[in-house]
């Protein structure tokens, strides 16, 4: 038995939790799992909004059936085609052969491309509405949040925004479905990790989406991941505004690679001096231990970044190379950067990190430090100078 969870009198949550998948997009760790949220409007035309990842289909169908008790779904709104949401579309279309699939022009092309479905489709355009009986669904295009076909669906009567990936979060819904049923603050880190790694590259499209949605009276935001918002909407909109403008707070992320501990010792030296200078928020990561998605999430949070790497085959350490490559792809703006590194016979890492700082167009702070073999007094003091320069820059920003 399952007692359906209501968003309103006739709108139901039909999402599922996934605590088994290790990597989202086969890339990002899901230490706290992930929720795939779907919603059901029980009206004259029974309408499903998005589906779930296909491996969760049994749990999903059980939730649908608990609401519909055998009645058929008439329409499926597809706000986003990424398979964590659209993965069950083909099965739903087979189970309900008369169902009409609703999406925009790009969605319909992807429905054909992914599933070979070319009939029973309804194309919607910016601002258009469809009526289900007692509910009016209005569609707004939100391209690149997070794919080009992404859109959101606003139910006018209930003032509920079905926002696809936007305002979503990693992490399962452990009993609490709504933000006022849980310790919502515990979701902020996973919400930022989700945003920064999924949509972080698309700050400008996110800004456009926020501007477009600012004209709506929104009482509830129902994303395809994470808690349904009905209490913390202003805070989350504010976070999205800050993140998409690449605004950040006072703090330093130190990320380093180290084979034998020498570069790590430089990182420790930098961190200690930062603390002596009054920097409270210092986040230090060994890139060989911590997945880049967590480091990037903190770089979205804090203004300063200090990177350190040993020279490895005349290049950066491969795990630092992976981080800086991902940062370049993400295109985070307006950060301060300091760099350091070590080598045994010929240094290349600091040169490569300087090139990265220039390529990503961050403001370089302090004098780069490169040590040969073990950390000695001169470079130890140089690491402290680097930290001092960064602390001063942070205070004056």
Chain residues that interact with ligand FEO, rule: CB under 6 A:
80, 82, 84-85, 146-147, 165, 224-225
Whose Cβ is closer to ligand FEO: residue 202's or residue 336's? 202
* Rounded least distance, CB 27 to ligand FEO, Å: 12
Whose Cβ is closer to ligand FEO: residue 140's or residue 147's? 147
* Rounded least distance, CB 235 to ligand FEO, Å: 21
Chain center to CA of 152: 17
Whose Cβ is closer to ligand FEO: residue 18's or residue 265's? 18
Between CA 87 and CA 244 the distance in angstroms is 28
* Rounded least distance, CB 48 to ligand FEO, Å: 16
SS (H, E, C) the chain: CCCCEEEECCEEECCEEECCCCEECCCEECCCCEEECCEEECCCCCEEECCCCHHHHHHHHHHHHHHHCCCCCCEEECCCCCHHHHCCHHHHHHHCCCCEEEECHHHHHHHHHHHCCCCCEEECCCCCEEECCCCEEEEEECCCCCCCCCEEEEECCCCEEECCCCCCCCECCCCCCEHHHCCHHHHHHHHHHHHHHHCHHHHHHHHHHHHHHCCCCCCEEECCCCCEECCCHHHHHHHHHHHHCCCCEEEEEEEECCCCCHHHHHHHHHHHHHHHCCCCCEEEEECCCCCHHHHHHHHHHEEEEEEEEEEECCEECHHHHHHHHHHHHHCCCCCEEEEEEEECCCCCHHHHHHHHHHHHCCEECCCCEEEECCCCHHHHHHHHHHHHHHHHHHHCC
* Rounded least distance, CB 321 to ligand FEO, Å: 26
* Rounded least distance, CB 301 to ligand FEO, Å: 21
Whose Cβ is closer to ligand FEO: residue 54's or residue 388's? 54
The residue nearest ligand FEO at its CB is: 82
* Rounded least distance, CB 224 to ligand FEO, Å: 5
* Rounded least distance, CB 147 to ligand FEO, Å: 6
Whose Cβ is closer to ligand FEO: residue 147's or residue 336's? 147
* Rounded least distance, CB 179 to ligand FEO, Å: 18
* Rounded least distance, CB 15 to ligand FEO, Å: 12
Between CA 45 and CA 43 the distance in angstroms is 5
- Of 83, 85, 156, 154, nearest to 124 (Cα)? 154
Whose Cβ is closer to ligand FEO: residue 163's or residue 263's? 163
Whose Cβ is closer to ligand FEO: residue 85's or residue 291's? 85
Whose Cβ is closer to ligand FEO: residue 18's or residue 165's? 165
Whose Cβ is closer to ligand FEO: residue 10's or residue 142's? 142
């Amino acid at each position: 038995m399952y007692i359906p969870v209501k968003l309103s009198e006739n709108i139901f949550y039909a999402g599922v939790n996934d605590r088994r998948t290790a990597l989202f997009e086969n890339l990002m760790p899901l230490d706290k799992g992930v929720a795939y949220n779907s919603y059901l409007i029980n009206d004259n035309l029974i309408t499903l909004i998005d589906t779930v990842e296909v491996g969760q289909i049994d749990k999903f169908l059980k939730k649908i059936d608990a609401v519909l008790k055998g009645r058929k779904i008439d329409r499926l709104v597809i706000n986003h085609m990424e398979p964590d949401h659209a993965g069950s579309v083909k099965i739903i279309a087979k189970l309900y052969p008369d169902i009409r699939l609703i999406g925009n022009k790009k969605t319909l092309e992807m429905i054909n491309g992914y599933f070979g479905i070319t009939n029973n489709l309804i194309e919607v355009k910016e601002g258009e509405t469809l009526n289900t009986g007692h509910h009016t669904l209005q569609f707004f295009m939100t391209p690149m949040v997070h794919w080009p076909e992404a859109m959101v669906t606003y139910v006018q009567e209930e003032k509920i925004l079905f926002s696809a990936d936007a305002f979503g979060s990693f992490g399962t819904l452990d009993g609490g479905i709504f933000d006022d049923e849980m310790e919502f603050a515990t979701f902020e880190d996973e919400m930022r990790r989700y945003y920064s790694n999924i949509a972080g590259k698309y700050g400008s499209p996110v800004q456009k989406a926020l501007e477009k949605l600012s004209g709506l009276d929104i009482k509830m935001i129902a994303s395809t991941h994470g808690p349904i918002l009905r209490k913390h909407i202003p805070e989350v909109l504010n976070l999205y505004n800050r993140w998409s403008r690449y605004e950040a707070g006072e703090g330093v992320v130190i990320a380093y690679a180290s084979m034998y501990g020498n570069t790590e010792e430089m990182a420790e030296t930098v961190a200690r001096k930062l603390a002596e200078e009054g920097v409270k928020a210092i986040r230090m990561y060994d890139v060989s231990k911590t997945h880049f998605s967590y480091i990037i999430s903190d770089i979205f949070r804090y203004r300063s970044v200090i990177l350190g790497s040993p020279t490895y085959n005349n290049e950066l350490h491969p795990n630092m190379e992976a981080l800086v490559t991902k940062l370049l792809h993400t295109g985070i703006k307006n950060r301060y950067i300091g760099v350091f590194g070590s080598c045994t016979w010929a240094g290349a890492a600091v040169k490569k990190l300087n090139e990265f700082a220039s390529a990503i167009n961050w403001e370089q702070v302090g004098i780069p430090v490169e040590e040969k073999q073990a950390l000695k007094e001169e470079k130890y003091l140089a690491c402290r100078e680097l930290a001092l320069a960064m602390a001063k820059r942070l205070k004056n920003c």
